[in-house]
Amino acid sequence: MIYLDNAATSWPKPPGVARAVSRALTHAVGNPGRTNHRLTMDAALLVQECRENLAQLFGIANPLRICFTANATEALNLAIKGIVSPGDHVICSSMEHNSVWRPLTALQKSGVAFSIAQANPAGVVDPASVERLIQPNTKLIVMLHASNVSGAIQPVAALGRLARDRGILMLLDAAQSAGSIPIDVQAMNIDLLAFPGHKGLLGPQGTGGLYVSEKVDLRPLKEGGTGSESNSPQQPSCYPDRLESGTLNLPGIAGLNQSVLCVLRRSVEAVARHEARITQRLLSGLARIDGVTVYGPALGVPRAPVVSFNIRAMDPVYVAAELERCADIACRPGWHCAGLAHRTLGTAETGTLRLSPGPFTRIAEISKALAAVAALARGDYKS
Amino acid sequence: MARILVIFASLNQVALLKRSLYRMGVYVEMQRTPHCLSATGCGFALRCEPSELTLLRMKCKELRIEPGGFFEETGQAEERHYRSLGSLEIDR
């Protein structure tokens, strides 16, 4: 199979990830914080090692400010709902994923207002348009780093500076960038960073996390057992315990630790270079196929390894099915859980077909995919 | 022989300190906080040699982890006794 659905979840995983998950399941690893035996302590050290590797990856000074979640969606919900209160105002972009758009919409019922900064037709937001939306009660700017539809990369450093200068918190949704585009929370003035473990970080599904800077104190999404301050009815104040109630996904974290180590060894910069080369090859090939319309930044402009397109008026669902049937290509059609972004790109009626290469995608696979798209556009494939 | 016990609210804090000290070639034991010192329940602690106390205080400051207290531990098994050596305030 030619796997071009890395924006949904990455595959293959690096060598050692499955082994690390399996080892966590077969060697009776204990439950961190719950008791005193060696397996528990070993498990706690493994979890801590993963926090430290993530901290190194994102330039985070204090690894204890990273809490594990099940995915980026949970991290975003935790961040947004843990910060804003009735009467607060939030700014997001018109490219957001539903994991930002829906929580903000739901919060409107409790008196939280939000404004949407309109992106340009390629999906990029101008920081000046964000600045114009700032109100006296603006508490938070939440922005996706890279679009899961167009691959457009937002000017995060400029937005971070703007947020810092205006005393507003900055939450970055790194669902499509963590592991693919360098991120430094200090240099970029990011107060909260939500990331999945199973996409660019190449870990198992069911993993993710949220970084919370020391100047932010979040309300937890859930309260419960943390293995600390057990006699108190109140949730502990220390991080990450404050936000991590219940047993952690230790097999997932074991796999994530191994995959993050692989990313660190290869370096995000090297992954970014590889993915940029592959993506630009894909874009230049699509540009030569009659009837193909590509959305997002122009050829040659840096973008995440995400390419959305349509072939004339063909249903993207049909195109995806034909690409799998005729060329064994895995890709994603539809609206990609990002209705707001499709309104921005002008594809709200149709959706798009999305090809998303990954760190292990080869040029030869891109060539085969392009040949298959060209054949489909010519009408060579007939069911 | 006396040992030093430093107690913390969370195993996460203990694990961070232990790994940090280990990278410096210093081995400290992780354990549950003894019941008699565990005011809020379910705490964790590091046990080290008296000669390592200064380093441990320094590491706590560097990593901005506020311990629940420093104790001198004497005796063995169930006959252990603890004497407070004070606490450490971390500027935030």
Residue B81 forms part of a structural domain: no
Predicted TM-score (pTM) of this structure = 0.95
Residue B86 lies in a domain: no
Cis peptide before A12 (omega within 30 of 0): yes
Q: Look at residue A68 in the predicted model and tell me its pLDDT.
A: 98
Please tell me if residue B33 touches chain A, with a CB cutoff of 8 Å.
Answer: no
Listed residues A242, A266, A290: the one ending a domain: A266
Closest CB from B19, B31, B42 relative to A227: B42
- Indicate which CATH number applies to the domain containing A202: 3.40.640.10
Which chain B residues have a beta carbon less than 8 Å from that of A229?
Answer: 9, 40-43
List chain B residues with CB under 8 Å of A64.
Answer: 12-13, 16, 65
In a domain, A226, yes or no: yes
Q: Report the candidate in A244, A301, A194, A262 with the shortest Cα–Cα distance to residue A10.
A: A262
A240 preceded by a cis bond (ω within 30 of 0): yes
Q: Work out the number of other CB atoms within 10 angstroms of the CB of residue A39.
A: 14
Task: Give the torsion through C-alpha atoms of A212, A38, B21, B70, to 10 deg.
Answer: 90
A209 and A278 within one domain: no
Express each pLDDT in A158-186 by its tens digit: 999 999 999 999 999 999 999 999 999 99
> So what's the pLDDT on residue B10?
93
- Please state, in angstroms and rounded to a whole number, the distance separating the CA atoms of residues B74 and B79: 8
- Cβ of B64 and A62 within 8 Å? yes
Which two tokens mark B80?
């252990």
What's the rounded Cα separation, in Å, for the pair A122 and A380?
31
Q: Does B37 touch chain A (CB under 8 A)?
A: no
Q: Are the Cβ atoms of B12 and A240 closer than 8 angstroms?
A: yes
Mean pLDDT in residue range A329-354: 93
Last residue of a domain, one of A230, A246, A266: A266
User: Up-side HSE of residue A41: CA atoms within 13 Å toward CB?
Assistant: 15
pLDDT digits (tens, 9 = 90+) for A57-104: 999 999 999 999 999 999 999 999 999 999 999 999 999 999 999 999
Question: For the domain that residue A318 is a member of, what is the CATH number?
Answer: 3.90.1150.10
Residue ranges of B 51-90 with Cβ closer than 8 A to chain A:
63-65
Is residue A280 in some structural domain?
Answer: yes
Average pLDDT (A190-218) is: 97
* Single-letter residue type at B78: E
Mutate: best of B31, B38, B42, B92, partner A, most A CBs <10 A:
B42
Cβ neighbours of B63 in A, within 8 Å: 62
Evaluate the CA torsion angle A158, A164, A168, A171 in order and state its sign. Answer: positive
- Domain range for residue A138? 17-266
To the nearest whole percent, how much of chain B has pLDDT over 90?
Answer: 77
Q: What whole-number distance in Å separates Cα of residue A113 and Cα of residue A94?
A: 15
In sequence order, the β-bridge partners of residue A170 are: A141
Residues A180 and A235 in one domain: yes
pLDDT at A28: 66
Structurally, how many domains does chain A consist of?
A: 2
pLDDT of residue B1: 76
Residues in Cβ contact with A94 at an 8 Å cutoff, skipping those fewer than 6 apart:
A116, A117, A118, A119, A125, A340, A341, A343, A344
A352 residue type, one letter: T
Share of chain B above pLDDT 70, in %: 97
Tens-digit pLDDT profile for residues B24-72: 999 999 999 998 998 778 889 999 999 999 999 999 999 999 999 999 9
Q: Chain B contacts of A62, Cβ < 8 Å?
A: 63-64
Rounded average pLDDT over A199-211: 98
> Of residues A380 and B81, which shows the higher confidence score?
B81
| A52, A163: one domain | yes
Look at residue A284 and tell me if it is in a domain: yes
Q: Are A130 and A92 part of one and the same domain?
A: yes
Residues of B in contact with A47 (CB under 8 A): 12, 15
Q: Which CATH number covers residue B26? A: 3.30.70
pLDDT surpassing 80 at residue A267? yes
**Residue in B13, B19, B44 nearest the CB of A52:** B19
Neighbours of A176 (CB within 10 A): 29
Q: If 0-12 CB within 10 Å is exposed, 13-18 middle and 19+ buried, where does residue B91 land?
A: exposed
pLDDT digits (tens, 9 = 90+) for A118-161: 999 999 999 999 999 999 999 999 999 999 999 999 999 999 99
Q: What pLDDT, on the 0 to 100 scale, is given for residue A107?
A: 98
- What is the pLDDT confidence band of residue A383, given thresholds at 50, 70 and 90? low
Judge whether B83 lies within some domain.
no
Full domain range(s) for residue B38: 3-76
- Spatial separation of the C-alpha atoms in residues A184 and A57, rounded to whole Å: 8
In this structure, the answer to whether residues A330 and A237 fall within a common structural domain is: no
pLDDT band at B92 (very low <50, low <70, confident <90, very high): low
Tokens 């457009």, located at residue: A152
Residue among A199, A210, A174 nearest A256 (CA): A199
A229 with B43: Cβ contact below 8 A: yes
Tokens 């035996």 correspond to A37
**Chain A residue set in contact with B, beta carbons under 8 Å:** 32-33, 35-36, 41, 44-45, 47-49, 51-52, 62-64, 214, 226-232, 236, 238, 240-241
User: A201 with A54, same domain?
Assistant: yes
- Give a yes or no: residue A73 inside a domain: yes
CA distances from B91 to A275, A314, A351, B88 (A): 43, 62, 53, 10
Query: Does A159 fall in a domain?
Result: yes
Calpha distance B11→A230 (Å, rounded): 12
Based on the domain organization, do A52 and A85 belong to the same domain?
yes
Q: What is the mean pLDDT of residues A175-198?
A: 98
Considering the domain boundaries, does residue B30 fall inside one?
A: yes
Q: Which of B19, B32, B92 is the closest to A36 by Cβ?
A: B32
Q: In what order do the strands lie in the sheet with A169-173?
A: A66-69, A208-212, A192-196, A169-173, A138-144, A89-93, A113-117
Contact B92 A240 (CB under 8 A): no
* A57 within domain boundaries: yes
Verify that A278 and A354 share a domain, yes or no: yes
Same domain, A366 and A226: no
Q: What is the arithmetic mean of pLDDT over A295-310?
A: 96
Domain boundary among A266, A298, A330: A266
Q: Which residues of A80-97 are buried (b: 16+ CB within 10 A; e: fewer)?
A: bbbbbeeebbbbbbbbbb
> Percent of chain A scored above 90 by pLDDT?
91
Question: Which chain B residues are Cβ-neighbours of A241 within 8 angstroms?
Answer: 9-10, 12
Query: Cβ–Cβ contacts within 10 Å for residue B8, how many?
Result: 25
pLDDT greater at residue B87 or residue A248: A248
Residue A254 and residue A282 in one domain: no
- Overall number of domains in chain B: 1
- A363's tokens: 């040029």
